[in-house]
Amino acid sequence: MNKHVAVLMGGWSAEREVSLVSGASCANALREAGYQVTAIDVQRDAGALLTRLFPKPHAVFNALHGRFGEDGCIQGLLNFLDVPYTHSGLMASALAMDKPMAKRIVAAAGVPVVEDRIVSRAELLADDPIARPFVVKPPNEGSSVGIYFMMDGDSRDAFTNSWPFGNEVMVEAYIPGRELTVSVMGDRPLAVTEIVTEREFYDYDAKYADGGSRHILPADIDKKTYDEALHLAGVAFKALGCRGVARADFRFDGTSLYFLEINTQPGMTPTSLVPEQAALAGISFSELCGWMVENAECDS
């Protein structure tokens, strides 16, 4: 009998639509690879989800993005059910989703990070927490949701009038330069991609809208920087305790690399960054999805 895999997608975070696309792509790839697949659009109803997960599948492919799917919540439920799942476990997922904590951990492991401060909305309204230019981020969202740039002369009102992400704000120094990203598969950094966009930065629309960005793979950078990006991604992956597949993002100012964050649930359509890098390494999309299922685990 073929292995039964439940693919979790959708959810109720700001990244629901992206998750539905990732989940459908992975479900199709797994069917092509010979797995028996049940696709589950996860709603905010734990009882309904538990019902869909019985009888227990051999594994869960977690294609959820954002809060509740990427921050350790669903991982804790699957640990309780003793069902192996793809991507990182509860602790690594929670740590990686908490951007300030993730940066502290990888910095302690020797990975250069961008200066940041956590302040309240009131503090940010009152004065600049660090020298401009700086970037304002939610501490625990993905896909560049809720990011604002504060350049010289910009008003803080644009940020504070439309901020649905709670009272805590992450303020991070702006590093001019190039956007680089590295996928890690198990203990293997795959490649370095440069992301080029005509938009102000690699925001949600640049990630997912048609023509929003271009991926230069492999990145056109010197070999020393390329190899260093691979190395630092691997160090960050291990420092946070990640497993399966994750993707580390960096800024490169022409001289130095700076770690921004690691995505434990990166986009998984055939044209997403991780599958593109896997393809460069000779791994097809269906092989990538199958590898993730075969290496699924739950926390002991």
Residue 155 among the catalytic residues: no
The residue ranking higher by pLDDT, 30 or 198, is 30
Does residue 124 have a pLDDT over 90? no
- Which is the catalytic residue, given 15, 179, 228, 276? 15
pLDDT at 294: 97
Element (H, E) at 103: helix 99-108
Residue 202 among the catalytic residues: no
CA pair distance 189, 51, nearest whole angstrom: 37
Beta strand 257-263 pairing with 134-137:
unpaired
CA pair distance 43, 19, nearest whole angstrom: 12
Residue 208 among the catalytic residues: yes
- Which is the catalytic residue, given 143, 213, 272, 286? 143
Model pLDDT for residues 178-224, shown as the tens digit of each residue: 999 999 999 899 999 999 986 554 444 444 445 557 999 999 999 99
- Which is the catalytic residue, given 249, 251, 258, 276? 249
CA pair distance 150, 139, nearest whole angstrom: 17
- Angle among Cα 210, 213, 218 to the nearest 5 degrees reads 125
Which residue is associated with the tokens 């599948």?
57
Residue 247 among the catalytic residues: yes
Q: What domains sit in the chain, N to C, each tagged with a CATH number?
A: 4-86 (3.40.50.20), 95-112+176-284 (3.30.470.20), 116-173 (3.30.1490)
- Which is the catalytic residue, given 263, 276, 286, 290? 263
CB-based contacts of 140: which residues, under 8 Å, 6+ apart?
67, 71, 97, 98, 99
- Which is the catalytic residue, given 261, 276, 286, 290? 261
- Which is the catalytic residue, given 267, 276, 286, 290? 267
pTM, full prediction: 0.90
Q: Which two tokens stand for residue 234?
A: 């691997």
Residue 15 among the catalytic residues: yes
What is the average pLDDT across 5-34? 94
Q: What is the band of 13 on the pLDDT scale with cuts at 50, 70, 90? A: confident
One-character DSSP codes across 278-296:
HHHTT--HHHHHHHHHHT-
One-character DSSP codes across 75-89:
HHHHHHHT--BSS--
Model pLDDT for residues 48-98, shown as the tens digit of each residue: 999 999 999 999 999 999 889 999 999 999 999 999 999 999 999 999 999
Model pLDDT for residues 219-278, shown as the tens digit of each residue: 999 999 999 999 999 999 999 999 999 999 999 999 999 999 999 999 998 889 999 999
What is the average pLDDT across 158-184? 85
- Which is the catalytic residue, given 146, 247, 251, 258? 247
CA dihedral (41, 42, 43, 48) in degrees, to 10, reads 100
